[in-house]
A and B are shown apart, each in its own frame.
Chain A
């Protein structure tokens, strides 16, 4: 009886250790890191989505970004910028793990919004979800402050091509 219990425990341990995807570490960044992504001297179109775990419409549109990321299109780089408070990074990590999110998530720890928000886009009122798409090759960029529906993300990317 006791041995069976030990075996069970070992099996459980092994199972938990070999879970399919290790949850990604969520890096906490400052605005200069975001700026580096926005000004990336890259060939890929940068798709930057601003969201937070407490934002219901953000969570609704997240699968669109996750699906885009999973296409592994070498011409597109997707980054999710979490606007959760920095002390909630554990919550963001937990969320990413629960949803099996593979898209890179960075938590932007810049509480003095008026010091940087216009640098993302002057038209941004400050609400999320918001999405910025930049084509570093031709310099075209598109900023939208709303929840995207199926197909809209592709249309935005097409508009900067």
Chain B
């Protein structure tokens, strides 16, 4: 009995300490600076002349990320010119997930001709600040002029397996509403996917 109690306590402590602070819809986003697949540093503040950004925590290895990869590339093609470019961030610990090493990130970005950043969140601090949990996990940010605010958090659409069968395109709808000067009507969804591979977890 004592052992069970001890385990329960340990478990509760783990649950509490494992919950990082995270952004909610409407929160201001702190600037970040991360290394891109081309070796250059990219900051959110580099985007201060854009209307916003579509920040996606992604990886090379998750089946959901693979299923959504072409749709992520298409999002940038569609919205970069309208002021909402895509920024992808890989936060997976390469020790836990060797397929997400820097070399693999470079390979993925080059093979798929990424015309947007694929950043490495080596310390995982950015993913923790955002409260990203899964891949792909989307945060649509709106540039208010003085800062970037979170306008949408969640999944890309409602059919991870088959893009042509998706009939709720959450991210596109959010960006379209922002472009039309409206607030986002469906600002939060959940993204079933692979958990981000945290260090020492």
Chain A residues within CB distance 8 Å of chain B? 52, 54-57, 83, 85, 87, 111-115, 117-118, 124-128, 144-147, 151-152, 154-156, 158-159
Q: List 28 A-B contacts (CB under 8 A).
A: A54-B62, A54-B63, A54-B194, A57-B195, A83-B192, A111-B162, A112-B158, A113-B155, A113-B158, A114-B158, A117-B192, A125-B134, A126-B134, A126-B155, A126-B190, A126-B192, A126-B193, A127-B133, A127-B193, A127-B195, A152-B7, A152-B11, A154-B4, A155-B4, A155-B7, A155-B8, A155-B11, A158-B4
Chain B residues within CB distance 8 Å of chain A? 4, 7-8, 11, 15, 18, 62-63, 97, 133-134, 154-155, 158-162, 165, 168, 189-196, 201
Q: In angstroms, how far is the closest chain A Cβ from the Cβ of B100?
A: 12
Prevailing SS type, chain A contact patch: mixed
Closest residue to A88 on the B side, CB-wise?
B63
Candidates A56, A111, A114, A156; contact of B189 at CB < 8 Å: A114
Q: In angstroms, how far is the closest chain A Cβ from the Cβ of B69?
A: 15
Q: Check A85–B8 contact: CB distance below 8 A.
A: no
Q: In angstroms, how far is the closest chain B Cβ from the Cβ of A47?
A: 16
Prevailing SS type, chain B contact patch: loop
Given A111-B165, A112-B168, A125-B134: 12 more A-B contacts, CB < 8 Å: A111-B159, A111-B161, A113-B155, A113-B192, A114-B189, A117-B190, A125-B133, A147-B201, A152-B7, A154-B7, A155-B11, A158-B4
Q: Check A126–B133 contact: CB distance below 8 A.
A: yes
Q: Check B191–A126 contact: CB distance below 8 A.
A: yes
Q: In angstroms, how far is the closest chain B Cβ from the Cβ of A57?
A: 7
